[in-house]
Amino acid sequence: MTSITLDDMLAVATPQDVLEKIELTNSPVLDKLARSCAKVTKRPHVNIVLYSADEVYTIGSYNPVCMRMKRTLYGPILQKPIIELSDFVLQSTHSDTQTIAQMKSFTMATINVAGETVGGISVHDYQECSTLTESQKDFLIQAAQLAACVIETKARLKTTLMNAFSLSNF
C-alpha cells in the first residue's frame, strides 16, 4: 500500500482539481484573516473563496453575503494580483448584472497555489464606493499569500489523514 502526498496529486492534476477533490471546508484561521482584512480595508463584507469548475465557495469570511455562488471570473484576469470592480464588470455576464449593480466597491486579491489561481480574498461594500489605498491593496495581497499557505497546509494535513485512514483499513 503506497501513500499519496499533496505533491504527488499536484504532479498529475491542477491545483484547483486537487483542492476540489480534497474538499476543504471553513477554517477559523481564515475567518480571523477575513476579519483582519475587514478592519484594514474598512469594508463590511469579506469572503475568502476557492474556485471549482463552475462555482465559488467560501472557506473563510467576515460578515458574508453568500457562501456559494456561480463562478464569474475566468481566464487571464485571474493572473492579476488585484482585481477591481471595473475588471469584474468586464468579465460579467447578463445573469451577474444584478449582483454587480448592487456593489459599490469590490476588490479581490488572488490566491495562488502551485502557480495557479485557485481563489481569492474579496472585500466589497454595498454602501461606500471609495477605492482602496495602495497600502490596503498591499495588505490584501499579503493576506492572500498567507491564505495560500493556510490552504496548502490544510491540504497537506488532509492528504496525510486520508493516507492514515486508508492504511488503517488495509
CATH code for the domain of 128: 3.30.450.40
Residue pointed to by grid coordinates 471570473: 73
0.95 exceeded by pTM: no
What's the mean pLDDT in 165-170?
A: 68
Greater confidence, 168 or 41? 41
Q: Which three cell numbers stand for residue 152?
A: 496548502
Phi-psi group of 147: left, alpha or beta (phi > 0 → left; psi -120 to 50 → alpha; rest → beta)? alpha
Q: Which domain holds residue 122?
A: 6-164
What per-residue confidence (pLDDT) applies to 93? 54
CB 23 within 8 Å of CB 157: no
Quick one: which of 20, 79, 75 has its CA closest to 52?
20
> What are the residues whose beta carbons fall under 8 Å from the beta carbon of 125, sequence distance 6 or more?
43, 44, 45, 103, 104, 105
Domain count, the chain: 1
pLDDT digits (tens, 9 = 90+) for 127-153: 877 889 999 999 999 999 999 999 888
Indicate whether 169 belongs to any domain.
Answer: no
pLDDT digits (tens, 9 = 90+) for 56-115: 788 888 886 665 565 566 667 777 888 887 676 666 554 455 555 567 788 989 999 888
What's the mean pLDDT in 8-34?
A: 80
Indicate whether 133 belongs to any domain.
Answer: yes
Residue pointed to by grid coordinates 495602495: 134
Indicate whether 170 belongs to any domain.
Answer: no
pLDDT digits (tens, 9 = 90+) for 82-92: 888 767 666 65
